[in-house]
Amino acid sequence: MKIDIKKISQGEESVTIRYAQMTPSIQKIIGILRGEKTKLWGRVSDENVCVELDSVLYLETVDDRVFAYTSDQVVRIDGSLSSFMDEACDETFFRCSKSMVININRVASLRSMSSNRIDATMENGEHIMISRRYAVEFRKLLKGDR
């Protein structure tokens, strides 16, 4: 994708987006420019709730159900972790194991473990283990190689 950025001294600021096909990435960019926050709908008890995607610490699959964890609530969402990753199209979420996805912007600290695993401490103090299978890709992400 080519990006042209030009500073102007007067006149109205504008952004032009040219695309061959509307993709989730382009839709996200448009949403950001419009000031839209990405939201995630789910259920808490018998109530439908909406949470900001930025507030999600991690998602986990338990007994074929997907739960999104924020600092103060657990929200059951429809679909699978794979469908979430496809729909979110957000580089801030990283698949860290077969059953978990973490929000890398909400990681407070990291610690290398034996067997090439990584212990990620989230902002709420919970420890999430990044498995060997995903640790190499996570390290590349941290270096900016992804």
In a domain, 34, yes or no: no
In a domain, 71, yes or no: yes
In a domain, 20, yes or no: no
Predicted local distance difference test score (pLDDT) of residue 58 = 95
The domain spanning residue 124 has which CATH number? 2.40.50.1020
Number of domains within the chain: 1
- Residue pLDDT, tens place only, 47-94: 888 888 889 999 999 999 999 999 999 999 988 888 888 777 667 899
In terms of residue numbers, what domain contains 74? 39-143
In a domain, 22, yes or no: no
In a domain, 87, yes or no: yes
In a domain, 21, yes or no: no
In a domain, 27, yes or no: no
Predicted local distance difference test score (pLDDT) of residue 35 = 65
Count other C-beta atoms under 10 Å from residue 61's C-beta: 17
In a domain, 99, yes or no: yes
- Edge-first strand order for the sheet with 65-69 is 47-52, 39-44, 74-77, 65-69, 58-62, 100-103, 93-97
